Structure 1
Amino acid sequence: MDAVAQAHREHWGRIVATLIRVTGDWTLAEDCAQDALAIALEKWPRDGVPDNPGGWLTTVARNRALDHVRRAAVEQRKLREATLIQPQRANDDLLSLIFTCCHPALALEARVALTLRTVAGLSTADIARAFLVTEPTMTRRITRAKSKIAQARIPYRVPEGDALHERLPGVLAVLYLLFNQGYDGEPLIADEAIRLARLLAGLMPGESEVASLLALFLLQHSRRAARRDERGDLVTLDRQDRTRWDRAAIAEALEILLRTPIEGPYALHARIAAGHAGDESDWRSIALWYDELVRVQPTAVVELNRAVAHGYAYGPEAGLKMLPELENYPLSIAVEADLTARAGRTEDAKKLFREAAAKIPDGPERRALLSRADEL
């Protein structure tokens, strides 16, 4: 039923977060939330969708949790707390859940899996498929993460003051990893990363990096339909059909950036992506933003992308002079090949494209490099 599926997407995280707070039991919280959805599937087609689907599901899940707590004879304090699930705390609970799932004491793969399962409500099978592991393997990964939270007594709360600003980049890094995983493979994961970023932006409206990350996701995702041709091969940005880009997503992202100050690397990444949003890429603007980004995030990959931007803004020789030394890195060789081709040195460029292709497994990226060599 569509109404139940929509309620699942919109309210799962809050229901689970609230039940975790009052019971302290992650598995019980998820089981009771799942039971509530199953009851909704049975009752809503017959009785109609309630006016407040989230509240209805929370009440049913709470009652299931209460029954379980009573049967297990858990201490009276938790029984009293469980009878008073406060709707006004739902957002606080959800934020606490996100920060707990993304706690730095957990391995990165565990943070990713736990966020998708517990906050987003994706099935273990879907998560396993996206990360190319078996369902039992992913189940063990999620179970170990929950056990680590309990054994290490990781606090179920939102950090405050300086601790919040120290922890927030780790949360955003998990969302960014999720988006990239989905963008390159499983669309469901990319969609969930956008939804979670939108959720977090609503929970933390004063954090510019959260809003900037959402804008970045929207801008990148807007190009999804044009990124591959009918064979599934990659289409480079300069060759994409921009009429296929999602203009509504671009407009939303640009509106977010208009009201968001520049306070970190995601804000700069988002403005670089915005430089491509028009009918043509504004390479000079993009190059200027990369000049800023390389000061904030002086990594080899940023330097490589900066060289690309300068190569398109000020000529290929300018880009070639800025290339960082990244020995045997296929992407660096491919960038050198592209700039060399644009500088008119065709034979050298062909060799470089083939050299880059030889260093990566067979797939769309390799075919795209070999296709460029053949064109030359």
Structure 2
Amino acid sequence: MLAVALSLSFASPAQTTDPSAAPQQIVRGKISGKVIDGNTKTIESATITLLRSKDSSVAKMSVADKTGKFEFADVAEGKYFVSISAVGHDKGLSEPIEINASNLDITLKTIELVPQAKSISGVTVTSKRPLIEQKAGKTLINVEASPTNTGLNALEVLEKAPGVSVDNDGNISLKGKQGVMILIDGKPTYMSGADLAALLKNMQSSSLDQIEIMTNPPAKYDAAGNSGIINIKTKKGIVKGTNGSVNASFTQGKYSRFNAGLNLNYRNEKINLFGGYNGGKYEGYNKLVIDRKIYQSDNKTIFRLADQVSRPHFEGLYHNIKAGLDYSFTKRTVLGFVVNANLNDNDEDPISTAFMRFPDRTVDYRIESNGLNTSVIK
């Protein structure tokens, strides 16, 4: 990895202040509830989705436990509602809710799902994988089962998964525990946090099959996975003969995002030969606003006011290539290898302006900073 960083800052006139400044508190809350059916029985393994009120986009997903209870932790400040679905029942919705500094722990009213009416006049059998599956010791996320995953990258898909949190630096935690082991197709990544985040940002959801989440990994995994294991499974063809797929997506907001991919597969009785390419371009920005009050030693009298606005702008290009071969000696014995190549070119040019003010809000001094961070990962 080659990384180049350049930063410039300007301040005038500087002044020393010995009172301590209270750090800006990031508002994070918890939402919990319970789901039952029309006969007041609990519904196990119902799919729970936390949606943002402004556009109904998915913020987080979860699964009800054996008693029908569910919980979303580490929820960012904002307005939400909860959608619940279960096999054989109509979808249920919660009342609107809001996480803010004065409302950090919300318990929803019990949500009752109405059983669907049964009809035997005609039967249509279809096969479709559910979005979330609960199996012994792990939770499975079937990526293609949710249309909202279209156009997202692997890190954004992970952020919505049950129990998974991703901070602003791309660090992944599972049920509040850091140090989660990330596997790709069952193989350790052996990457630093920053490099892993860059890799996952450049893996598109269209190339993903399943995400396995193990909060209590089996004994075959070493101590490095004690905080939990997330296994990201990419797509492989299972149809005999030659087949493939092409995908592309374009998203336009303030900036545009584009990605395209190609997957090819050849399979016969013994050999499975597969490969794929995925590439694209992205651009975006974040906005961080911080207000601080600095108190005198009596903790009552305001000494200074500090406000800061940061606007990191980022953009990048990425190319990912995968090729592999599996040879089946028997139905249960397979020898294979996979080669992955990644070329990612990422740039970030954060701009920040901070003011230190007197209690009447007149400016004492101003600090401006401009940065340029460039990284190339091969």
Q: TM-score range, shorter-chain basis?
A: under 0.3
Task: Give TM-score scaled by structure 1 length.
Answer: 0.25
By percentage of residues, which structure has more strand? Answer: 2
Tell me: higher relative CO, structure 1 or 2? Use CA pairs within 8 A at least 6 residues apart. 2
